[in-house]
């Protein structure tokens, strides 16, 4: 049973944005893509997919499930009204920490650092200075050239310099160093007021509750958007449970819930933990059209919006 699960992140009017270089689906392209989906697919709900995964119902042959990651204000202002007008349900996956604590996720700090400074070489040089400073302060770090050799590689979506920055700040450096360096780069290139920036980037609890009451679906995306596979079982369980508590605050039922693994990172421990907690569906970042007869319900692939026509 084929299912096209479309993955979205930012959806915004880039022409009016302070950060036009951010990698987003433009508002006009998003509207065009919804038109395309309406002509070629039947949009299904989270509950329909969960029922189909259990073998309780069959999805239409052209089924399409719309998913939106990271809990952006974009989703409330730009996505929600367009879906509601069409009578479609979207599924939204918001990490709890940025919404509850006014923190900007490291992944988003990286996005806006890159959007604010067009010369990736300048960011790499500042990153090098920060790493050398951390080493001088006693951090247990590898030689700079070792990091370059491992992470300065080719990628079909990014230049080697951009990929290097992302990997170093996502997982290459030890967590404590990574967090400090990311904060320094964000303050230098983007904003020194993290709380204010977070309030402009993420939706609020009240906005999320409004979306739930209006028929949108929400699922778990971790508490602090960590690479779950990098954590031991106890830390994974703690993060998942805190995410479930947040969903409860939004009015999301505890049974048959859905998780979208942050960064697409999960392992056997993750799958067992979410299964034990009654999770019905798990979304990855593996790129493919899902097949409910082939893919496990807790390991479903998705199609990034950039690979779907926008007209």
Answer yes or no: do 110 and 139 share one domain.
yes
Tell me: pLDDT of 156 over 80.
no
Same domain for 95 and 208 = yes
Question: Are residues 86 and 144 located together in one domain of the fold?
Answer: no
Residue recorded with tokens 């509750």? 209
Task: Grade residue 170 by pLDDT with cuts at 50, 70 and 90.
Answer: confident
Indicate whether 53 and 167 sit together in one domain.
no
Please indicate, yes or no, whether residues 284 and 156 belong to a single structural domain of this protein.
Answer: no
**Closest C-alpha among 34, 19, 269, 307 to residue 298:** 269
Question: Do 278 and 256 touch, CB atoms closer than 8 A?
Answer: yes
Asked if 122 and 252 sit in the same domain, the reply is: no
Residues 7 and 22 in one domain: yes
52 neighbors 38 (Cβ within 8 angstroms) = no
Q: Where are the alpha helices (DSSP H) in 251-308?
A: 268-276
- Measured distance CA(258)–CA(273) in Å, rounded: 13
pTM of the model: 0.92
Tell me, rounded to whole angstroms, the distance of Cα 194 from its chain centroid: 19
Q: Torsions phi, psi of 23, nearest 5? A: -80, 95
The counts of H helices and E strands in the chain are 14, 11
Give residue 299's pLDDT. Answer: 97
Q: Within this chain, do residues 27 and 172 fall inside the same structural domain, yes or no?
A: no
User: Which residues is 290 bridged to in the sheet?
Assistant: 3
Go through the chain and tell me how many residues it has.
311
Same domain for 208 and 76 = yes
Q: Contact 304/284 with Cβ under 8 angstroms?
A: no
Provide the phi-psi class of 60: left if phi over 0, else alpha when psi is between -120 and 50, else beta.
beta
CA distances from 186 to 123, 141, 194 (A): 10, 21, 9
Q: Which of 196, 220, 242 is the last residue of a domain?
A: 196
Q: Are residues 212 and 64 located together in one domain of the fold?
A: yes
72: containing domain: 2-102+204-307
168 CB-contact burial (10 Å; exposed 0-12 / middle 13-18 / buried 19+): buried
- Element containing residue 26 per DSSP (H, E): strand 25-26
259 forms beta bridges with: 220, 282
Taking Cα atoms as reference points, which of 92, 53, 90, 48 lies closest to residue 70?
92
Q: Which CATH number fits the domain that encloses residue 24?
A: 3.20.20.370
- Domain end among 139, 171, 196: 196
**pLDDT digits over 6-44, tens only?**
999 999 999 888 999 998 999 999 999 999 999 999 999
User: Does residue 165 share a domain with residue 190?
Assistant: yes
pLDDT in tens, 200-252: 999 999 999 999 999 999 999 999 999 999 999 999 999 999 999 999 999 99
pLDDT tens digits for range 87-118: 999 999 999 999 999 999 999 999 999 999 99
Pick from 196, 216, 236: which residue ends a domain? 196
Q: Is the dihedral of CA 70, 74, 76, 79 positive or negative?
A: negative
Residue 269 Cα distances to 64, 70, 135, 230, 244, angstroms? 29, 23, 34, 11, 17
Question: What average pLDDT is seen over the chain?
Answer: 95
pLDDT in tens, 51-101: 999 999 999 999 999 999 999 999 999 999 999 999 999 999 999 999 999
Q: Give CA–CA dist 161/13, Å, rounded.
A: 27
pLDDT of the residue at 175: 87
Our count of domains for the chain comes to 2
Q: Are residues 231 and 87 in the same domain?
A: yes
Asked if the model's pLDDT at residue 157 lies above 80, the reply is no
Phi, psi dihedrals of residue 298, rounded to the nearest 5°: -100, 10
């Amino acid at each position: 049973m084929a299912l096209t699960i479309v993955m979205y992140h930012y959806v915004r009017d880039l022409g009016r944005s302070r950060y036009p270089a951010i990698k987003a689906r433009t508002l006009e392209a998003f509207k065009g893509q919804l038109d395309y989906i309406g002509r070629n697919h039947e949009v299904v709900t989270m509950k329909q997919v969960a029922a189909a995964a259990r073998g309780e119902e069959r999805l239409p042959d052209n089924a399409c499930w719309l998913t939106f990651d990271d809990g952006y204000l974009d989703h409330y202002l730009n996505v929600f009204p367009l879906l509601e007008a069409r009578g479609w349900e979207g599924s939204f996956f918001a990490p709890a920490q940025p919404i509850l604590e006014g923190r900007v996720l490291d992944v988003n700090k990286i996005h806006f650092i890159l959007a604010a400074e067009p010369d990736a070489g300048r960011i790499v040089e500042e990153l090098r200075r920060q790493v050398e400073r951390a080493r001088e302060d006693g951090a247990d770090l590898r030689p700079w050239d070792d990091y370059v050799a491992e992470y300065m590689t080719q990628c079909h979506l990014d230049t080697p310099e951009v990929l290097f920055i992302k990997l170093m700040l996502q997982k290459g450096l030890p967590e404590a160093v990574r967090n400090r360096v990311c904060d320094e780069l964000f303050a230098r290139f983007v904003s020194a007021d993290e709380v204010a920036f977070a309030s402009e980037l993420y939706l609020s609890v009240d906005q999320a509750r409004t979306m739930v009451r209006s028929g949108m679906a929400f699922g778990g995306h971790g508490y602090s958007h960590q690479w779950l596979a990098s954590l031991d079982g106890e830390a994974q369980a703690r993060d998942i449970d805190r995410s479930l508590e947040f969903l409860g605050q939004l009015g999301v039922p505890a049974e048959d819930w859905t998780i979208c693994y942050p960064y697409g990172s999960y392992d056997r421990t993750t799958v067992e933990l979410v299964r034990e907690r009654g999770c019905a569906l798990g979304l990855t970042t593996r790129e493919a059209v899902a097949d409910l007869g082939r893919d496990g319900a807790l390991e479903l692939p998705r199609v990034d919006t950039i690979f779907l026509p926008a007209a």
